[in-house]
Amino acid sequence: MIIRERIETLEEKVLSSRAVLSKNSQGRVRPEEPSELRTDFQRDRDRIIHCKSFRRLMHKTQVFISPGDHYRTRLTHTLEVAQIARTIAQGLCLNEDLTEAIALGHDLGHTPFGHSGEQVLNRILKDQGGFTHYKQSLRVVDVLEKDGEGLNLTFEVRDGIVNHTGKRTPKTLEGYVVKLSDRIAYLNHDIDDALRGGIIKEDELPESCLDILGNKHGERINTMVADVIHYSMDQDYVVPSPTIKQAIDDLRQYMFEKVYVNSKAKIEDDKVDRLLNELYAFYLEHEDRLPEEYAKHIDVTKERRIVDYIAGMTDSFAVNIFKKIYLPAGYKNIE
């Protein structure tokens, strides 16, 4: 028996009736011959891990811009989401491979300098529908990767990627798992990083939330994950219980007030705004300087092509390009 077929048979035996079986995928935009070794969702996971956009996440900001070695980057955030998501999917007998593929691909379209960069690019493109990282993540896997060929992922993975945030609605329970895991991951690791950075103090965290969720980082994650699994078991939804949801929402509100909006974590935002706007203005006047892999997408506007390029930059690459364009060669290394 072909190994893939053995895996697909095993899925039928052990997964929930609510799970998406690999053999029942709605397929790809461009049909492909099945693999002998891997299911379609396993192939999607591997394509994402091996793509350039995934590697660049290592040098993209999560919340804290260039803070030090032990703070989260967009890549470590992605790995934490994938770990949490697989645990929940396993507990609910959902498709772990589909869940992992969505989790690993959900932030591929994120900009340099985190949400600060996303806001800048959204303002730049406000007259052309704006910019959001989740739509850009889908554009990355559909169009921008592999020199314009895209990764040709399955419908279910693409759906989970573009619907992983906000009020958007995934069409699979595996997509819901990633959507919730994203929130669990960033809420907890952002608290950890904010404590490390001295932005908040442990005794300032809302006591009512800690009484329910736990006092330590790992304890809070375990409480949230276990609650989701127990509350959603054999149900047509993946959500926390009302008590845990309220504690999560209250803790998230606290983080918006103390960290995400008005804190020293945001003091570099004006610099990010200027840097990215200056890069955009330069390429608007010198489109011929765009790399060929971005310049050739004539199906979209010049403005969108430039934003595609800037969105794909890492923090350090954006800074270095800015220096190369605007600083005299002899002064590049002066702080």
Q: Which of 11-20, 244-253, 265-274, 325-334 has the lowest mean pLDDT?
A: 325-334
pLDDT category, 328, cuts 50, 70, 90? Answer: confident
3-state secondary structure 298-314: CCCCHHHHHHHHHHHCC
Contact 116, 147 (CB under 8 A): no
pLDDT of residue 186: 96
Q: Are 259 and 200 within 8 A, CB to CB? A: yes
pLDDT (average), residues 29-58: 97
Residue 65 has pLDDT above 90, yes or no: no
For residue 323, name the pLDDT band (cuts at 50, 70, 90). very high
Confidence of residue 330 (pLDDT cuts 50, 70, 90): low
Question: Is 90 exceeded by the pLDDT of residue 253?
Answer: yes
What's the pLDDT score for residue 298?
Answer: 87
Provide the mean pLDDT of the chain. Answer: 94
Confidence (pLDDT) at 331: 57
SS3 label, residue 124: helix
Nearest-angstrom CA–CA distance, 238 and 230:
10
Domain parsing of the chain, residue ranges: 3-189, 269-331
pLDDT at 263: 67
**Tens digit of pLDDT for each residue in 194-225?**
998 889 999 999 999 999 999 999 999 999 99
pLDDT tens for each residue of 270-316? 999 999 999 999 999 999 999 999 999 989 999 999 999 999 999 99
- Longest CA–CA span in the chain (Å) reads 66
Confidence of residue 67 (pLDDT cuts 50, 70, 90): low
What are the residues whose beta carbons fall under 8 Å from the beta carbon of 266, sequence distance 6 or more? 116, 260
CB-CB neighbours of 124 under 10 Å: 21
Name the CATH architecture for the domain at 3-189. Orthogonal Bundle (1.10)
Q: Which residues pair with 160 in a beta bridge?
A: none
Contacts of 261 (CB under 8 A, 6+ apart): none
pLDDT over threshold 80, residue 192? yes
* Closest C-alpha among 143, 79, 186, 188 to residue 311: 143
Lowest mean pLDDT among 57-71, 158-172, 236-250: 57-71
